[in-house]
Amino acid sequence: MLGGRAAEETVFQRLTTGASNDLERATDLARKMVMEYGMSEELGPMTFGEREELVFLGRSMSEHRNYSEAVARKIDAEVRKIIDTAHAGALEVMRHHRELLDSLAQRLIEKETLDEAEVNALLSKTLALATGQ
């Protein structure tokens, strides 16, 4: 989810609002990982927050905090750690595969929309050129 932001940083050395939705979704997922799925090394296999849901809509209507301020700080720290790790990984991928990124961007400028087969063909071709195959 942070690939768009990492690509902006890699190519333009600056950030724009273009990847804001990706960042929002990544943060939401990281928060769910910590608070709902118990995927935090620091906090362990627990859930935090009680949600009242509208079952027929499948949406959360409200959330009641059932944890202390100290735990809230730990939750925030764990979410931050997940996002920072994912961001660092995305940056590493973009920097390591910069030629692929540039090839894909150039093709998108030319054609605007690519289907899965076109992306796979472009990536295979670029990888073959990079490895001399």
Do 46 and 110 share a domain, yes or no? no
What's 81's domain CATH number? 1.20.58.760
Token pair listed for 82: 């997940």
- Give, in order, the Cα–Cα distances in Å from 73 to each of 14, 62, 67: 29, 21, 10
Q: Which helix (DSSP H) or strand (DSSP E) does residue 36 occupy?
A: none
Do 82 and 109 share a domain, yes or no? no
Do 105 and 88 share a domain, yes or no? no
Do 10 and 23 share a domain, yes or no? yes
Do 70 and 87 share a domain, yes or no? yes
Rounded CA gap, 103 and 16, in Å?
21
Confidence label for 15 from pLDDT (cuts 50, 70 and 90) = confident
pLDDT single digits (tens) 66-99: 889 999 999 999 999 999 999 999 999 999 989 8
Total number of domains constituting the chain: 2
Do 34 and 50 share a domain, yes or no? yes
Do 16 and 72 share a domain, yes or no? yes
Do 35 and 79 share a domain, yes or no? yes
Which structural domain, as residue segments, surrounds residue 68? 3-92
- pTM > 0.75: yes
How many CB atoms lie under 10 A from the CB of residue 68? 9
Do 55 and 68 share a domain, yes or no? yes
Residues with Cβ within 8 Å of residue 38, at least 6 apart in sequence: 44, 45, 46, 47
More confident: 17 or 28: 28
Do 83 and 124 share a domain, yes or no? no
Statement: residue 16 has pLDDT above 90: no
pLDDT single digits (tens) 97-127: 898 899 899 999 999 999 999 999 888 887 7
Rounded CA gap, 66 and 24, in Å?
24
Statement: residue 24 has pLDDT above 70: yes
Residue 17 corresponds to which amino acid? T
Do 44 and 17 share a domain, yes or no? yes
